[in-house]
A and B are shown apart, each in its own frame.
Chain A
Amino acid sequence: MNWSIYLPKYAIPWLFLSCATLGTEGEGDRNLPSAGVGPFRKLDGDELLGVPPFVFADSFAHYREPSALSLSETEPDVALYAVALKRTSTTEHDVFVRSRAYDGRSFYGSEGDSGHAPAVVLEPTLPWEADHIASPSALSYKGEVWLYYATPAGIALATSSDGLTFKKRDNPIFVRDAAVTWETDEPHAPSVALFPDGTLHLFYGSGGAIGEAISSDGVTFSRLDGDSSTAAIDPVLTPATDIAPSQLAAGQKPPFDTLRVDHPAALPRTTAAERLHVRVLYTGYRSGEGGTASAIGFAARYGDRGRLIRNNAPVFSVDKHEEAPTFFTWDGGAFLYVHHDAGPSSAPYPAVAGAFAPANGRLQKPLVFSDRP
């Protein structure tokens, strides 16, 4: 064998070819399964056009109590209904506004989107609304947008064919039942979800707990019992039992929701095992050294009725009075919106902050602001 011919002809190219197989970054973590409810991380500056982590903010309008209405299963195209403060020269009262973001982050009319303002879609006009409406909950139903909201008289409903112009029902659709002992105040903070069997389930706050009611038409609701072992109608979620510091295990944190639970946001789904999975995010409150503290929790159940089981860890906690969660999922992950303190600590105001799950996922650069509310 003539090595002087074969060596440069075959061995040297083979050597170079071997060196070309350089290592790449390891994988194995793509498309991992998730219940779509976090834990969430707040959005950072590279992911937003405005001041992070806020997606919908205005120091005058004080956007708060958001409700997300997903407009696509594959894209984070979302409409956001929220409470805003409307000021005139003599009065101020809360109204509902609607905005939209094609990327789940760049909302029409938010700070930074100069020249635009979100559309005002609902104002308190009826006597029983007493000039106060709160906690919108938007639902896509029968080709319309149904907007449930809280009033001093109970939970009310308005419907719209275009999501912008709403027609109110003449009376509240769900009011306090004196026979239900734990409902010590008027039902509020509604969240209505369409279940796979076609029924609508209303989750609501009252008396520091969360209750549930069911309806076949979205107008007439009857209460569901969270605990069928008792004769009374029970809530589906109550505050956690407090644990004395001496009883906590090393590194264990006390429950975050021992004072009250409120502001449910329900989103059912069918799991890979074909089970109905009712997911509810909520605001949990506890008494702290500096007053009442809050965090966003997650509770759920399998099946169409019964008590919700809470996760011991909050899904979002930034210690800035975060409240009123709403969320939606799409193929790329899940967005959570809450309102919490914005602005200087000496004069904070509420604004809607965004968070994303999976927490180790990265979002692409934000798109331009939406061109319509």
Chain B
Amino acid sequence: MGGASTADSADPSANYYNPAALASVRAIQISLGYFRVDHHLSINGQDNHVDPVKGVNVGMAVPGRVLGVPVAFGLALHLPDDRVSRVRALRQEQVRWELYDNRNQRLYLAANVAIRPVHWLEIGGGLSFMSSTRGRLDITGQANIFSTKDSTMRHEVDADLTSIRYPQFGIRAHLGKRGRVGLTYRGEFQLGLDLKARLDGNISSITTALYDLSTSSVNAFLPQQIALGGSYDVTARVRANVDLTWFNWSAYIPPVAKLDVVLDIPAPSGGWPAGITPPAQPASTNIVPINMSDRLVPHLGVEWHAVKERRLDLFVRGGYEFAKSPIPEQKGTTNYVDLDRHTASLGLGVAVRPRSSFYRGELKLDTHFQWSELVAHTTEKDEPSDFVGDFRASGRIINFGTTLTVGF
């Protein structure tokens, strides 16, 4: 549906699109799906081999009543099958596909509750969970520069994966029998990466060395978002959806490491031997602001109920969205690559309601295929002495997946 689902979710996908819609789920639903997003992103005609995003999605929606009021509880989990998380802190000059490189390779867990206080209104909200990394590496001992095998070094590693949480809220109103409007807010989150390394020791009894490094970066940033959506049953078999999502990209913090180093190697008595130059203290990082812009992204979706029988439904869905890149032209020293993106999607679904002796719920199988075409663009550098120079970026992203939802 091109992501136009803020006002139109009635299954575990509401955990993401609009938690309020969980309140309209009539029976316990558990979904299990798999998807794969392949990036075919090229610069100067050569593929940069940006990792795919792939993994299992699990969702759950459990309806019930409290004091006669309909309520629901939902859980959603995305479990990447390559790695649970990937962190990178690159130099700001290095060329990278900023929004596709490794931002999306995360474990995602969300828990929501929803309530329907009156028949036309649903309200929901919850929390999403991610983890950030803190680590410390200590190396102490004696380094023998004349006989390295006689060096004795001790090291300690202490790392923490600490959880962080961010909120999400939703509201949905039914306008008569055919229309719905919804509003969803998703909070901002930042995944921090803090590393400290300390090397403290004695170099062949000639002098001492202290190297104290601390680096801090935001390794993944998801901006806060507000999605406003509408859904309308044009006929008994055709539904049209439209969404408009605001992304607060201007708050974006690029994953560039802020580096602070203390290097202290005092000269030995009598000065440094000829030919030996002690290393200079590295310069601290002067981070250039990325200056991204907020964006409004429109989504359109249509669903056609091709078959609507008592025991069998068949659906065909189509969608479109356009996302203008929030990253400004990279004419200076930074090289955050991104492009405007057109996305078209097609979905097929089948729902069966068997009435056998062991199962009387609804089984639903949905498959989707999505094609994103990135509008090719050539970046012209201001400085001819730039080490990267002009480049032309282009690409496409292909996403496909399937989800099985079991209702009880």
Contacts of B56 in A (CB 8 A): 18
Q: Does A252 contact B (CB under 8 A)?
A: yes
Cβ–Cβ contact A272 & B390, under 8 A: yes
Cβ–Cβ contact B390 & A275, under 8 A: yes
A236 to B88 Cα, complex, angstroms: 41
Known contacts A273-B378, A345-B275: A35-B49 contact under CB 8 Å: no
Within the complex, the shortest CB–CB distance from A17 to chain B, in Å, comes to: 11
Cβ–Cβ contact B88 & A26, under 8 A: yes
Binds B, one of A104-112, A139-147, A172-180, A298-306: A298-306
A18 to B32 Cα, complex, angstroms: 14
Question: Quick one: which of A1, A21, A26, A311 has the most chain B CB within 10 A?
Answer: A26
Partner of A28, one of B50, B388, B389, B392: B50
Contacts of A300 in B (CB 8 A): 384-385
Question: Quick one: which of A1, A251, A278, A315 has the most chain B CB within 10 A?
Answer: A251
Cβ–Cβ contact B390 & A1, under 8 A: no
Known contacts A31-B43, A251-B282: A18-B81 contact under CB 8 Å: yes
Cβ–Cβ contact B274 & A345, under 8 A: yes
Contact indicator per residue, chain A 32-63, by CB within 8 Å of chain B (1) or not (0)? 11111111000000000000000000000000
Contacts of B97 in A (CB 8 A): 28
Cβ–Cβ contact A271 & B50, under 8 A: no
Cβ–Cβ contact A251 & B48, under 8 A: no
Contact indicator per residue, chain A 285-300, by CB within 8 Å of chain B (1) or not (0)? 0000000000000111
Q: Which residue of B lies closest to A270 (CB)?
A: B390
A266 to B366 Cα, complex, angstroms: 60
Q: Which residue of A lies closest to B81 (CB)?
A: A21
Known contacts A28-B101, A300-B384: A33-B44 contact under CB 8 Å: yes
Q: Does A169 contact B (CB under 8 A)?
A: no
Cβ–Cβ contact A277 & B384, under 8 A: yes
Cβ–Cβ contact A33 & B283, under 8 A: no
Q: Does B51 contact A (CB under 8 A)?
A: yes
Partner of B385, one of A251, A271, A310: A310
Known contacts A273-B378, A275-B380, A311-B387: A29-B48 contact under CB 8 Å: yes
Q: Does A250 contact B (CB under 8 A)?
A: yes
Q: Does B287 contact A (CB under 8 A)?
A: no
Within the complex, the shortest CB–CB distance from B117 to chain A, in Å, comes to: 39
A25 to B97 Cα, complex, angstroms: 17
Q: Does A9 contact B (CB under 8 A)?
A: no
Partner of B48, one of A32, A34, A298, A315: A32
Q: Does B312 contact A (CB under 8 A)?
A: no
A319 to B282 Cα, complex, angstroms: 17
Q: Which of B373-391 contact A (CB under 8 A)?
A: 378-380, 383-391
A250 to B282 Cα, complex, angstroms: 10
A59 to B116 Cα, complex, angstroms: 88
Cβ–Cβ contact A253 & B388, under 8 A: no
Contacts of A164 in B (CB 8 A): none
Cβ–Cβ contact A33 & B391, under 8 A: yes
Q: Which residue of A lies closest to B97 (CB)?
A: A28
Partner of A33, one of B43, B102, B385: B43
Known contacts A37-B387, A39-B387: A273-B48 contact under CB 8 Å: no
Cβ–Cβ contact B383 & A309, under 8 A: yes
Known contacts A299-B385, A300-B384: A272-B51 contact under CB 8 Å: no
Contacts of A311 in B (CB 8 A): 383, 385-387
Contacts of A345 in B (CB 8 A): 274-275
Q: Does A23 contact B (CB under 8 A)?
A: yes
Question: Quick one: which of A29, A310, A311 has the most chain B CB within 10 A?
Answer: A29
Q: Does A24 contact B (CB under 8 A)?
A: yes
Known contacts A1-B358, A18-B81: A319-B284 contact under CB 8 Å: no
Known contacts A1-B358, A33-B95, A272-B391: A302-B282 contact under CB 8 Å: no
Contacts of B42 in A (CB 8 A): 31
Cβ–Cβ contact A277 & B387, under 8 A: no
Cβ–Cβ contact A273 & B95, under 8 A: no
A277 to B96 Cα, complex, angstroms: 23
Cβ–Cβ contact A301 & B44, under 8 A: no
Cβ–Cβ contact A30 & B388, under 8 A: no
Partner of A31, one of B48, B280, B386: B48
Cβ–Cβ contact B390 & A277, under 8 A: yes
Cβ–Cβ contact B50 & A27, under 8 A: yes
Cβ–Cβ contact A35 & B380, under 8 A: no
Cβ–Cβ contact B385 & A28, under 8 A: no
Contact indicator per residue, chain A 262-278, by CB within 8 Å of chain B (1) or not (0)? 00000000011101011
Cβ–Cβ contact A34 & B378, under 8 A: no
A315 to B387 Cα, complex, angstroms: 9
Q: Does B277 contact A (CB under 8 A)?
A: yes
Q: Does B94 contact A (CB under 8 A)?
A: yes
Q: Does B83 contact A (CB under 8 A)?
A: yes
Contacts of B274 in A (CB 8 A): 345
A217 to B85 Cα, complex, angstroms: 60
Within the complex, the shortest CB–CB distance from B96 to chain A, in Å, comes to: 7
Q: Does B46 contact A (CB under 8 A)?
A: yes
Q: Does B160 contact A (CB under 8 A)?
A: no
Q: Which residue of A lies closest to B84 (CB)?
A: A23
Cβ–Cβ contact B49 & A30, under 8 A: yes
Cβ–Cβ contact A27 & B49, under 8 A: yes
Q: Does B138 contact A (CB under 8 A)?
A: no
Cβ–Cβ contact A30 & B47, under 8 A: yes
Contacts of A278 in B (CB 8 A): 384
Contacts of A250 in B (CB 8 A): 283-284
Q: Which of B79-121 contact A (CB under 8 A)?
A: 81-83, 86, 88, 94-97, 101-102, 105
A31 to B95 Cα, complex, angstroms: 10
Cβ–Cβ contact B43 & A26, under 8 A: no
16 contacts between A and B (CB under 8 A): A1-B358, A18-B81, A26-B102, A28-B101, A29-B94, A32-B48, A33-B388, A33-B391, A35-B388, A38-B387, A39-B387, A251-B283, A251-B284, A271-B380, A272-B390, A319-B277
Closest 10 CB pairs of A and B: A251-B283, A35-B389, A31-B46, A271-B390, A33-B391, A300-B384, A311-B385, A273-B390, A23-B83, A272-B392
